[in-house]
A and B are shown apart, each in its own frame.
Chain A
Amino acid sequence: MAGKLNVQIVTGERVVFEENDVDMVVAPGGAGMLGILPEHAPLITTLSLGELRIKKGSVEQSILVYGGFMEVAEDKVLVLADSAERAEELDIERAEAARRRAEASIASRESTMELQEAQAALRRANLRLRVGQKRGSRRGGPSGSGPTPAAPG
């Protein structure tokens, strides 16, 4: 029987996502993007900041992960993220505001530590915007693939 994947994404605070019968997972590995299909060899990898896509039939869901680990074994994909959020939970306006803030503090060039923090914040904000806008256009598009619950706020 052609296998399917069981996918679970957890952070230290909560279980963000859990689903069975997934066809493919594309994850932002520490050493580059990687795709996981059923019957993948056992693998443990670090994750970098990026978008994790989960394909199930014709439906594709996307989760933002901000670093962490992924373990693949026996068709189970377990993501231990430092922090993660579903694309549906995204708040574009807040991300936009965060980007402006981060850019402003990079421009003002404060201490090195603050600069690093601001750069990290900028990367997160950019990722949110990129994923958010993609989803936004997809939602409005004629094909309208994927169930897209209305984003709150």
Chain B
Amino acid sequence: MANAREIQRRIRSVASMGQITRAMEMVAAVKMRRAQQRVTSSRPYSEQLRQIMADLATQQLDPDQLAQFPLLQKRPIQNIELIVVSPDRGLTGALNTNILRRATRFILEEAESPVRIIPIGKKARDYFVKTKQNVIAEFVGIGDDVTLDTVRTIADIAIDDFASGTVDAVYVVYSRFVNTLVQRPEVMQILPVEPAEAHEGYADYIFEPTPEAVLNELLPRYVEVQLYQAILDGLASEFSARMVAMRSASDNAKEIVHDLTLSRNKARQAQITQEVSEIAAGANAMAG
């Protein structure tokens, strides 16, 4: 058995690791809450956009007119663009693996055409570059405070590629935040835009300047906000996964400290016993 001093040194190092993971857990918890709040506060906007779009697409304009809008066009799919949203950092348990596995499954099995990839986040970038996929643009380090403006830049690439006919569909793979313990990787189609069904009782609106002009402005905004929400969901997932991973790391550290403390005490006890028996043996020998 190792001697007491060595064990003491290990206890100290494990305990300080435990302190670090504990701090990371708390930071992740705070950031997770903020990311969740941001998801919630962007909902009114996307909901309303969806409703106006549904009304326009199903009641104001007929299919012939709708076919004029580049972002609504359904074409035979020959090329696909895939935006993969991943964290920049690790220490998130199985989250990164799950996202990348989902993306890979999409590329290899579900997509029936060549896929161009836009990774967002360092983990996705590294993976797709390493596996030599067709990466056409990359966004790394967009940060925890990502703004809609930043996302607009990324969405514009997809919109341009789709409108110009370079690709015929755009999908996003991201991690959906279900709850603190569950984050589910999902694939979402963002282009062509699929208008929802209009809900009942919508009044006849006046459109200024024209319904077409409104829809034309609205479609790119809708694509942007969908991507923005996917990224926020990804952030919330990242932080909750990290929080859980760090919590179990802290628990493990505590357990190891406990076990080591026991061994240290045993070692110390053994040492004392040995010393006592040596002294006793020596005394006996002298007395003998």
Of A8, A14, A29, A68, which is within 8 A of B41 by CB?
A14
A31 touches B209 (CB 8 A): yes
Q: When each residue 1-16 of chain A gets 1 if its CB lies under 8 Å from chain B and 0 otherwise, what string results?
A: 0000000101111110
Q: Are B38 and A13 in contact (CB under 8 A)?
A: yes
Known A11-B45, A13-B42, A69-B217; judge A46-B209 contact (CB<8 A): yes
Q: Bound complex: CA of A68 vs CA of B204, how far in Å?
A: 20
Interface size class of A (residues with CB under 8 A): 20 to 34
Q: Are the CB atoms of B206 and A44 closer together than 8 Å?
A: yes
Residues of B within 8 A of A13 (CB): 38, 41-42, 147-148
Interface of A, secondary structure class, is strand
| Binary A-proximity of B198-219 (CB < 8 A = 1, otherwise 0) | 0000011111110001100110
Main secondary structure on chain B at its contact with chain A?
A: helix
**A77 to B277 Cα, complex, angstroms:** 91
Is B48 among interface residues, defined by CB-CB distance under 8 A? yes
Please determine whether B214 and A12 come into contact, CB atoms closer than 8 angstroms.
Answer: no
**Which residue in A42, A67, A73, A80 is a CB contact (below 8 Å) of B45?**
A80
Given contacts A10-B45, A13-B147, contact A44 B207 (CB under 8 A): yes
The segment from B107-115, B160-168, B220-228, B236-244 that touches chain A is: B220-228
Given contacts A12-B42, A13-B147, A46-B209, 20 further A-B contacts (CB under 8 A): A13-B148, A14-B41, A30-B208, A30-B213, A31-B208, A41-B206, A43-B208, A44-B52, A44-B205, A45-B209, A46-B214, A68-B221, A69-B52, A71-B205, A73-B203, A73-B205, A78-B48, A80-B48, A80-B221, A83-B148
